[in-house]
Amino acid sequence: MAGSYTTDKIRNIVLLGHNGSGKTSLAEAMLFNTGAINRLGKVEDGNTVSDYDEEEINRTMSLSLSVLPCEYEGHKINVIDAPGYGDFVGEQLNGLYVADTVVLVLDGSAGVEVGTQLAWQMAVDHNKPIAVFLNKMDRSNASYRRVIAQLREMFDATFVPMELPIRDGEVFKGIVDLISLKSYTAQTKGGPAPDNMADELEEFRTQVIEYGAEGDDELMMKYFEGEELTQDEIASGLQAGLRQRRIVPVFCGSAAANVAVASFMHNVIKTFPIPTATEVTAQNSKTGDEVTLNNDAKGPLAAQVFKTINDQYGRMSYMRVWSGTLHGDGRAFNARTETEERIGGLFSPRGKEQINVKEAVAGDIVGVVKLNDTQTNDTLSDKATPLQVDAVTYPFPVFALALKPKTQGDSAKLGPSLTRICEEDPTLNHRYERATRQTLLEGMGETHVDIAVKRMAARFGLNVDTATPRVPMMETVSRTASAQYRHKKQTGGAGQFGEVHLRVEPKERGEGFEYKSEIFGGSISQPFLPSIEKGIKQVLEGGVLAGYPVVDVRAVVYDGKEHPVDSKDIAFQIAGREAFKQAFMQAGPILLEPIVDLTITVPEEFTGDVTGDLSTKRGRMSGMEQVRGNTIITAQAPLAEVQRYATELRSITQGRGVYTMKISHYEPVPSHIAGDIIAQAQKEREEE
């Protein structure tokens, strides 16, 4: 990197859009135009700077975000290339959070796709300025006007064409910049516009000047008074309009052929907001005050980690500096852990390459290796002013796999490997499910979790078998019942004796287990009452009906017998356990299953298919709302029916449906289904 850049000379953009729209190719062309690479790589050849991970090369798609700084016209453009595939929403959110502008990349022949809609919504939810790059304009069926019309129909925004494509018949040659009226083709940079486009240019340029004038009151006055606006004035007006999210500028080109990418980069520098336009909120952990940071290089230090990479060599952290200046070979304070970290040298990441830098000013993006306790979303600051920048909010996982280590050695690696892979990606979560005695890895979809398993094998040597998780059911009772059990053992020497009369009663959902004694007059001595409870508790974990935990019951001991010599702790444990089992089986035992809340967003044309499918899954619809061509369905369904919904919804809606899911409550399993589950559990017990 040539020297360090001041904040006003930095631009941070994130490339978002549908899978396959050409985000990685656009980043590659930008690097090539700045001389950072000397040949254009191709995604399908697996030789791009951005997609360097083995899984990315095998699947020919981005799976994690890459930071790709380009130096152009005396500026530094930090390009964040985010995956387009919906499972990797965590990577998209991280990139979006630290960028100052979202560049929505569209395939000029396909137009608005589901990934476009999701990325748009994400950018709007985070109040980010949006620009559009219509890629693949060299395809014969690509249409600039058609896609702009589609954008205007789909999204509530003012789209401003910044360029017009130059075509020779069906062939895309380049573009005319509507501010400078210069043409950019594969052969010429900044030549005159073709004569045959004069009328079209006049029509579109008027729009650009009007929107540029609207960005600034002084320019507006000047424009209405009939004065000619300079190119710099138009650019600064558009920059204000973009920064205030009043306009969405539209650019076009072909990334793979590197046509009109250089003019797009020029526009990024001229019209995209500088880092000081972005504000974030932080908490001062010492005073409890809320602080607004606006990328002032002279302000207090705040550098937030937005991506962690854990591999066999250690930990690498990417951070955005929101305030102050981060120096290499210095120290910084983590307000969350209240520990100091040594910064052992900074680098500018470019794919897997690390370019050493001495410092990073507010507005820049930088990497650091071997931080001890700092994780994604943590902030490093000065100890005197400990700041913690607000964290990204991630969606709940919707898909899970059960993992079983293949060998004893893998068992030892399982916990540490899961911790490290989930630290890297906050949309992954691992946990031990007590009800099913399984270790689960949860994520945003089948591909997401599958890739995490492959990465753990490649990086940490962890080998596991995967399976669909068992549903974490529970067992309870529906009425009151009593039973008694006598435990008597006489085999030479001291015997064992204990008799317990016990009642089981149902409790309200969520109240848990309760143990009571109604023994009066000492039919069972006080010291043996805890023994009975201990025996019952041995059953609670492993269940009575089908091996699931027992919940929401009250066990009441009301009578019993003891022997002056043979009664002991173990005898009453066994008697208590067996009496509880018998009473439980007579008290109308039922299985409870988890019910989840679903919020499903699908294009209107798939509404019928999705609701029809939900009804086959014992789903109950609670609401339906039409929003801009989409239907938002709220429903509840048993988890057992929707464990693989991420895959199923994708196939029903051609990849255009998305949903969120979280456990709501437990309900009794219908008897015809419960019978099969109990029979299966008994069969498994016999096989064991």
pLDDT at position 400, please? 92
pLDDT at position 2, please? 46
Beta bridge partner(s), residue 482:
503
State the DSSP H helix or E strand holding residue 576, giving kind and residue range, or none if neither. Answer: helix 569-586
- 114-129 pLDDT per residue, tens: 789 889 989 999 999 9
Beta bridge partner(s), residue 475:
550, 591
CA–CA gap between residue 674 and residue 680 (Å, rounded): 10
Taken in order 194, 200, 206, 208, is the CA torsion positive or negative? negative
pLDDT at position 453, please? 94
pLDDT at position 131, please? 96
Domains plus CATH for the chain? 7-194+247-277 (3.40.50.300), 280-389 (2.40.30.10), 399-470 (3.30.70.870), 475-587 (3.30.230.10), 591-672 (3.30.70.240)
Q: Cβ contacts of residue 277 below 8 Å, gap of 6+? A: 100, 129, 243
CA–CA gap between residue 283 and residue 336 (Å, rounded): 11
Under the phi-then-psi rule, with left for phi > 0, alpha for psi from -120 to 50, and beta for the rest, what region is 340?
beta
- 571-592 pLDDT per residue, tens: 999 999 999 999 999 999 999 9
pLDDT at position 675, please? 87
Low-confidence ranges of the chain (pLDDT < 70): 1-3, 50-53, 55-57, 492, 688
CB 474 within 8 A of CB 550: yes
CB 102 within 8 A of CB 123: yes
CA–CA gap between residue 42 and residue 21 (Å, rounded): 13
CA–CA gap between residue 336 and residue 343 (Å, rounded): 17
- 32-51 pLDDT per residue, tens: 888 888 877 777 777 777 66
Taken in order 48, 52, 58, 64, is the CA torsion positive or negative? negative
State the DSSP H helix or E strand holding residue 595, giving kind and residue range, or none if neither. Answer: strand 589-603
C-alpha separations of 281 from 13, 364, 449 in Å:
20, 17, 32
pLDDT at position 187, please? 77
Q: Say whether 653 sits in a helix, a strand or coil.
A: coil
Q: Cβ contacts of residue 234 below 8 Å, gap of 6+? A: 179, 208, 209, 212, 213
pLDDT at position 52, please? 66
CA–CA gap between residue 84 and residue 30 (Å, rounded): 19
Under the phi-then-psi rule, with left for phi > 0, alpha for psi from -120 to 50, and beta for the rest, what region is 46?
left
Alpha helices of 425-547 — where are they, by DSSP H? 446-460, 529-542
